[in-house]
Amino acid sequence: MASYILKRILAAIGTLLIIMAITFFLMNAIPGNPFLSEKASPQAIELAFKKYGLDKPLIVQFRNYVSNYLHGDLGVSLKMQEGTDVAKILFQQGKFDLSIKLGISALVLAVLIGIPLGCIAAYRRGTWLDGLLRVMTTVGVAIPTFVLATLLLAVLAVQLRWLDPKSGSLTDFRSFIMPVISLSSYYICYVAKLTRTSMLDAINQDYIRTARAKGVKTRVLVLKHALRNSLIPVITYLGPVTAGIITGSFVVESTFQIPGLGKYFVQSVLNRDYPVIMATTVVLSALVIVMNLVVDIAYRLVDPRITLTNREG
Amino acid sequence: MKERFAKISPFQVDPKEIEQAFGLNSGDFEAASETEKESVVEKRKSVSYWRDAWRRFRANTVSMIALFVFILCLLFAFVGPSLVPYGYGDQYRSSQKLSPFELSKDEAKVEALSGHCDAFYATALQPGSLTAIKKGDYFIRFGGKTYAFTASKAIEKSVIVLDVKAEEPLMLVKMSDIQDDGTWKKSTPIEHTDTPAEGAAEIKLISRVFPHVFGTDSAGRDLMARTMYGAQVSIIIGISAAIIVLLIGSVYGAISGLAGGAVDFVMMRIVELIYSIPEVLIVLLLQVVLKDPLQAWFDAHKTGIGGMLGDLGAGIVSIFITFALLYWVTMARIVRGQVLQLRKQEYVTAAVALGATSGRIIKRHLLPNAVGSLVITTCLQIPSAIFLESFLSFLGLGVSAPMASLGSLCSDALETITLFPHRLFYPAIMLTVIVLTLNLIGDGLRDALDPRLKK
């Protein structure tokens, strides 16, 4: 187990390095530079290049990034908040917090609503309730996040005037409603579908029949025997989804005007603020990689039959 | 018969005794006659895989309805634009910000004419400029007759009216002379001949004003036409991206699965690496990186493949490149899994034992057995490509104006959501319906092509 985790962490660092290299290559390939503006004279640009080390060869710049990151230094913003530490921008100005708050709320909602819905549908399969849930989840996975977000905005905020169209910095419960619903609806539906399928699989197994014959109560049967065995596909799905939820928040953030990480990333790309692009990518990638690792370990806790070392891709 | 059962050794029993002992009839062992052989020939043709799948698919009501609705969407997107007189980029100056079916002042005025004449042509209803008719030669074909005339100066803010029964069938009416009930105060007859001059341009008359079914946007563009073109763009992107993914993913997965060993190990590590990249970040970067160089390349290569891709626009082509770079990994994994699983099957072992070549095994055994999951995965890839494109267009990185996609239409609508919520409604519904029907068709295909997976 320990050697497996160690191996995975090493692989994760390798992956992060490659992601850094790809990001570095791509962002330097974006035409233009952060200091380009109507007022800027060539001399001023040259000076700024010198100041931030952009005049050095690319390979040296990349090496500097890597060594700075290893020392925990994410660099300073070149344009959007010139001279401010990127780490400060991401973590202390609430951007990271906002995105994580939004993402975690949506994830929790997906688990807390999606799994029970899937269980109910599987348990009541063939009834009108199952049919209704099936229609709901099928439609739910077909609605793009931004469509749902804008529809909610149009109905709840504009027509009915129940909620404020700009959620801002998510200070109270009401401001959470629209962003979290629009972000999580797809995942709720998908998790419900997945749970239903794997629950049906589990319910038809012999051990369930045995347990029933033994006289185990239905509640215990569903929660303990069937659910536990049907959670693996759901957990497999939830790992990579963390990434999706945070990237999906790009759209939600721009629709509800939440100043989160997603929105800031889009702006940083458009502004060619290299250190911000790099830091955001690395922070989000690290998050995704860590989540994948956590899921792989959670696997084992849920199902001891899975041996971590021999998992086939 | 006799010879065959002739006694070979003293221990052998007389055939007659066997017949009697077991109740057999020696006639049963006669060679079959031609008529008897015919009865064994198959009377019904065996059902092919695709026919069988189609039969199962047809029995699935939900999928059939989805297929029907999707075909309607296809008609809307691909046949629709030829039925609507408006283009996706045409701006009608006087028709800005209309509600569904609402006519602008000019249009209402011209529409009122329809009861009082046979056909008309209003410069005010032409896209962009009010001076749609410049100085020059023109001709009109209507009811089997040709009316040719010369405009000695540009005609603007006027309507060419054709009334076959009137004394002067072709006349020019100033917009300001048209009254609300559709009659006009005065008109100028247009001198015309039957034969058009060389190089004359045709003017197409209309007898009714085509309504803006979905209304218009702030630039005076017809929203139904834009939604049609947007759906077209989305569907084309979805299908092309799915094909790109199918090609790259299946070749990569098949090589990895068939080669095995170190090759497989390295190839799968690459897949894992791409898997763990937060794709949206890279996609956003790629879009920004690719857009300008692609545009420059298109501008430099106007002929051949450059021109073809250039028509699609740099935004769409960079979406294809993104798919080719990042999105084939799921397909590759599925194909590799299939190959590994199928390779271990007894019938493949049997084929190998019988001396079949690798080519034959791939062609006769692996491909036909994997084709079901290939089709299903490809079909489910289409909505995901449409999702991605609309997401990028929504963020302002996909197609560039005046081209529309369903995502960019939604994004445009968001800016005016407080005043015109209906503008969001049509592209959003269209997008949802396309994705929903494709998902349902994919589910139906899975049940039909691979009944083992049916849950």
Q: Which residue has the higher pLDDT, B88 or A210?
A: A210
Across the interface, of A146, A250, A254, the residue whose CB is closest to B410 is A146
Q: What is the pLDDT of residues B155-208, one digit of tens each?
A: 777 777 767 666 667 777 766 677 767 676 777 777 777 777 777 777 777 767
Amino acid at B340: L
Of A296, A289, A290, which Cα lies nearest the Cα of A311?
A296
Which pLDDT band, with edges at 50, 70 and 90, does B315 fall under? Answer: confident
The average confidence (pLDDT) of chain A is 78
Coil/strand/helix, residue B178 = strand
Please give the pLDDT value at position B455: 45
Average pLDDT (B66-74) is 90
B154/B214 Cα distance (integer angstroms): 32
Q: What is the pLDDT of residues A167-183, one digit of tens each?
A: 666 677 777 788 888 88
- Shortest alpha-carbon distance between residue A211 and chain B (Å): 23
Domain boundaries, chain A: 2-89, 95-259
For the purposes of burial, counting CB atoms within 10 Å of the CB of A165, is it exposed (0-12), middle (13-18) or buried (19 or more)? middle
Instruction: Provide the CATH number for the domain formed by A95-259 in this structure.
Output: 1.10.3720.10
Q: Parallel, antiparallel, or unpaired: how do β-strands B145-151 and B136-142 relate?
A: antiparallel
Note whether A143 contacts B: Cβ–Cβ < 8 A: yes
Please give the pLDDT value at position B271: 84
Residues of chain B with Cβ-Cβ distance to A255 below 8 Å are: 414
- For B:377-406, CB contacts with A below 8 A are 383, 387, 390-391, 394-395
Element (H, E) at B42: none
Q: DSSP secondary-structure letter at A92?
A: I
Note whether A158 contacts B: Cβ–Cβ < 8 A: yes
The average confidence (pLDDT) of chain B is 77
Placement of tokens 């012999």 in the chain = A206
Expressed in percent and rounded to 5, the helix, strand and coil fractions of chain B are: 60, 10, 35
Interface probe with A: pick from B270, B275, B276, B343, most Cβ of A within 10 Å: B276
Using CA of residue A288, residue A290, residue A291, residue A292, what is the dihedral sign? positive
Across the interface, of B284, B417, B428, the residue whose CB is closest to A266 is B284
What are the distances in angstroms from CA A272 to CA A55, A80, A127, A240?
16, 9, 55, 28
Element (H, E) at B47: none
Average pLDDT (B3-10) is 57
Over pLDDT 90: what percentage of chain B?
A: 0
Average pLDDT (B274-295) is 76
Placement of tokens 């010879």 in the chain = B3
Structure tokens at B433: 């319906």
Over pLDDT 90: what percentage of chain A?
A: 0
Residues of chain B with Cβ-Cβ distance to A138 below 8 Å are: 436, 439-440
Average pLDDT (B132-160) is 72
Across the interface, of A26, A142, A144, the residue whose CB is closest to B439 is A142
Do the beta carbons of residue B46 and residue B437 sit within 8 Å? no
Is A144 close to B391, i.e. CB distance below 8 A?
yes
Q: Parallel, antiparallel, or unpaired: how do β-strands B201-202 and B188-189 relate?
A: unpaired
Element (H, E) at B84: none
B349/B342 Cα distance (integer angstroms): 10
Average pLDDT (B74-81) is 84
Please give the pLDDT value at position A37: 66
Of B63, B104, B401, which Cα lies nearest the Cα of B226?
B401
Nearest CA in chain B to A242: B278
- For B:348-377, CB contacts with A below 8 A are none
Query: How many Cβ atoms are within 10 Å of A147's Cβ, its own excluded?
Result: 25
**Intra-chain end-to-end CA distance of chain A, in Å:** 18
Structure tokens at A273: 């603020």
Placement of tokens 């009608």 in the chain = B92
Nearest CA in chain B to A292: B276
Residue A82 makes CB contacts below 8 A (sequence gap 6+) with A76
Please give the pLDDT value at position B365: 80
- For A:234-293, CB contacts with B below 8 A are 240, 243, 246-247, 250-251, 254-255, 265-266, 269-270, 277, 280-281, 284-285, 288-289, 292
Of A244, A273, A246, A282, which Cα lies nearest the Cα of A261?
A246
Residue B454: phi and psi, rounded to 5, are -60, 130
> Does residue B127 have a pLDDT over 80?
no
Do the beta carbons of residue A254 and residue A263 sit within 8 Å? yes
Across the interface, of B275, B289, B391, the residue whose CB is closest to A30 is B289
The 10 Å CB-count burial string (b at 16+, else e) for B92-114 is bbebebbebeebbebbebbbbbe
Residues of chain B with Cβ-Cβ distance to A143 below 8 Å are: 432, 435
Placement of tokens 């990185």 in the chain = B397
Q: Parallel, antiparallel, or unpaired: how do β-strands B158-162 and B170-174 relate?
A: antiparallel
Per DSSP, the residues of A3-49 read HHHHHHHHHHHHHHHHHHHHHHHHHHHSSS-TT--SS--HHHHHHHH
Please give the pLDDT value at position B18: 75
Query: How many Cβ atoms are within 10 Å of A24's Cβ, its own excluded?
Result: 20
Note whether A137 contacts B: Cβ–Cβ < 8 A: no
Q: What is the pLDDT of residues B203-251, one digit of tens each?
A: 777 767 777 777 777 777 778 888 888 888 888 888 888 888 888 888 8
Residue B68 makes CB contacts below 8 A (sequence gap 6+) with none
A26/A281 Cα distance (integer angstroms): 12
Put residue B217 in one of left, alpha, beta given phi > 0 → left and psi -120 to 50 → alpha.
Answer: beta
Please give the pLDDT value at position B345: 82
Structure tokens at B42: 């198959």
Structure tokens at A80: 């959007």
- Shortest alpha-carbon distance between residue A276 and chain B (Å): 12
Structure tokens at A124: 């009541």
**Picking from A80-89, A120-129, B386-395, which range would have the lowest pLDDT averaged per residue?**
A80-89
Nearest CA in chain A to B278: A285
Nearest CA in chain A to B334: A313
B64/B54 Cα distance (integer angstroms): 11
Q: What is the pLDDT of residues A214-265, one digit of tens each?
A: 888 877 887 777 887 777 778 777 776 776 676 567 778 877 877 877 777 8
Is B285 close to A277, i.e. CB distance below 8 A?
yes
Residues of chain A with Cβ-Cβ distance to B436 below 8 Å are: 138-139, 142
B263/B253 Cα distance (integer angstroms): 11
Across the interface, of B407, B436, B455, the residue whose CB is closest to A139 is B436
Is B276 close to A197, i.e. CB distance below 8 A?
no
Is A151 close to B431, i.e. CB distance below 8 A?
no
- Shortest alpha-carbon distance between residue B220 and chain A (Å): 22
Nearest CA in chain A to B409: A147
**Picking from A266-270, B419-423, B431-435, B437-441, which range would have the lowest pLDDT averaged per residue?**
B419-423
Across the interface, of A142, A270, A285, the residue whose CB is closest to B432 is A142
B55/B74 Cα distance (integer angstroms): 23
> Does residue B1 have a pLDDT over 50?
no
Structure tokens at A20: 């850094």
- Shortest alpha-carbon distance between residue A27 and chain B (Å): 7
Coil/strand/helix, residue A258 = coil
Q: What is the pLDDT of residues B332-388, one digit of tens each?
A: 888 888 888 888 888 888 888 888 888 888 888 887 778 877 888 888 788 888 888
Q: What is the pLDDT of residues A11-33, one digit of tens each?
A: 888 888 888 888 888 888 777 77
Element (H, E) at A184: helix A173-203
Do the beta carbons of residue B436 and residue A139 sit within 8 Å? yes
Q: What is the dihedral of CA B375, B379, B385, B387, to 10 degrees?
A: -150
Of B18-32, B331-345, B412-426, which one has max mean pLDDT?
A: B331-345
A114/A133 Cα distance (integer angstroms): 11
Between chain A and chain B, the number of residue pairs with CB atoms below 8 A apart is 116
Amino acid at B113: L
Which pLDDT band, with edges at 50, 70 and 90, does A313 fall under? Answer: very low
Which pLDDT band, with edges at 50, 70 and 90, does A312 fall under? Answer: very low
Coil/strand/helix, residue A178 = helix
Do the beta carbons of residue B184 and residue B162 sit within 8 Å? no
Across the interface, of B278, B394, B413, the residue whose CB is closest to A251 is B394
Is A151 close to B282, i.e. CB distance below 8 A?
no
ipTM over cut 0.85: no
B131/A237 Cα distance (integer angstroms): 60
Across the interface, of A27, A144, A154, the residue whose CB is closest to B387 is A144
Please give the pLDDT value at position A309: 47
Residues of chain A with Cβ-Cβ distance to B394 below 8 Å are: 146, 251
Average pLDDT (B307-316) is 70
Please give the pLDDT value at position A13: 84
Do the beta carbons of residue B375 and residue B445 sit within 8 Å? yes
Is A247 close to B279, i.e. CB distance below 8 A?
yes
Of A7, A202, A11, A169, which Cα lies nearest the Cα of A101?
A169
Do the beta carbons of residue B379 and residue B445 sit within 8 Å? yes
Is A18 close to B285, i.e. CB distance below 8 A?
no
Coil/strand/helix, residue B206 = strand
> Does residue A140 have a pLDDT over 80?
yes
Please give the pLDDT value at position A131: 84
Residue B115: phi and psi, rounded to 5, are -80, -15
Where are any strands of DSSP class E within B136-187? 136-142, 145-151, 158-162, 170-174
